[in-house]
Structure 1
Amino acid sequence: MKMRRVECEFCQRHIAAGIVAGRPSKGRLWRHDPMERPEVFGDALVSCAGSLAIVDLPGPGPGAQLEFVEVKDELAAEEPVGPLGTLAMF
């Protein structure tokens, strides 16, 4: 599943945000390191202050109507003639 990216308010980087259970229009930013981590903190594991923050997700929500695009390719639009070569499973 491709996750939407949202700008972190602390480091201004675009970070993936996963949907929060029970709140489909909200997302939780993934954990990420601050840009200056190696210079300031050395080898210590330090997360950005915006990690795991709950943010509004951009774009249409999960309940939005999907849009179908008309097929322009003639070969893809043709219906197959005869059996498809598949077997029934049950």
Structure 2
Amino acid sequence: MKMPRVECEFCQRHIAAGMVAGRPSKGRLWRHDPAKRPEVFGDALVSCAGSLAIVDLPTPGAQLEFVEVDEEPADEELAGPLGTLALW
């Protein structure tokens, strides 16, 4: 499943956001490293301050809508069996 990408307010990078249960218009940013981590922190594992923040998703969740289809009558009506065999 492809997740929408939202800009992190701390590092201005576009990060994937997963949906939050019960809140279809909200998402949680995935954990990510700050853009300049190696220059500032060296080899230490540091998360961006915007990691795991709850943000608004660009497209709110929507319920599937059914489209009404006009049924056209069949041109020919078959008389008799369709040539199938009963299995039981």
Residue 61 of structure 2 aligns to which amino acid in structure 1? Answer: G
5+ long unaligned stretches in structure 2:
68-88
TM-aligned CA deviation for residue 61 of structure 1: 1.8
Moved over 2 A (4+): 62-67
5+ long unaligned stretches in structure 1:
68-90
SS across alignment from 1:25: strand
Q: 1:3 to 1:44 in 2, by over 3 A?
A: same
Q: May I ask how many residue pairs the two structures share in their alignment?
A: 67
The two structures, once aligned, show a CA RMSD in angstroms of 1.8
Q: 1:66 to 1:57 in 2, by over 3 A?
A: farther
The percentage of aligned residue pairs carrying the same residue is: 84
- 1:25-77 CA-partner distances (Å, limit 9, x unpaired): 1000000000110011000000000000000000242326489xxxxxxxxxx
Q: TM-score, normalised by structure 1?
A: 0.68
What is the rounded CA distance, in whole Å, between the counterparts of 1:20 and 1:8 in structure 2? 17
What is the rounded CA distance, in whole Å, between the counterparts of 1:33 and 1:55 in structure 2? 18
Which residue does 2:34 correspond to in 1?
34
SS across alignment from 2:39: helix
What is the rounded CA distance, in whole Å, between the counterparts of 1:58 and 1:66 in structure 2? 23
What is the rounded CA distance, in whole Å, between the counterparts of 1:66 and 1:25 in structure 2? 21
- Tell which structure's C-alpha radius of gyration is larger: 2
Larger helix share, 1 or 2: 1
